[in-house]
Amino acid sequence: MDSIDQANANLSQLLSRVEQGEEIVISDQGVPVTKLVPVGTASRRRSSLGVDQGKFVVPEDFNDPLPDDILSAFEE
């Protein structure tokens, strides 16, 4: 839940999230006062699948076991 001040400062970001289908509740002092919802159907949403294609390459060793020093950090 976003406050009115947060919503005002980040309106363009909130609208982008709503365009992707998210519903956002805006509150005033913790009390919900409004909800931003997408207009239209989900089929009109811009697809975000594939927008980062080619920007990241999965390394060949991605599924290899982690080194012992990293594994031990999870066990502490």
- What value, to the nearest 5°, has the Cα angle with vertex 5 and ends 44 and 45? 5
H or E stretch covering 11: helix 11-19
- At 59, is the pLDDT very low, low, confident or very high (cuts 50, 70, 90)? very high
Contacts for 65 with CB less than 8 Å, ≥ 6 apart: 71
Which residue segment(s) compose the domain that 25 sits in? Answer: 1-39
Which CATH number is 4's domain given?
Answer: 3.40.1620
Distance, in Å, from the CA atom of 61 to the CA atom of 3, rounded to the nearest integer, reads 44
pLDDT at 25: 92
**Cα dihedral 27, 32, 38, 40 sign:** negative
Residue 43 has pLDDT above 60, yes or no: no
Looking at the structure of the chain, the number of domains it has is 1
pTM score, whole prediction: 0.47
- At 3, is the pLDDT very low, low, confident or very high (cuts 50, 70, 90)? confident
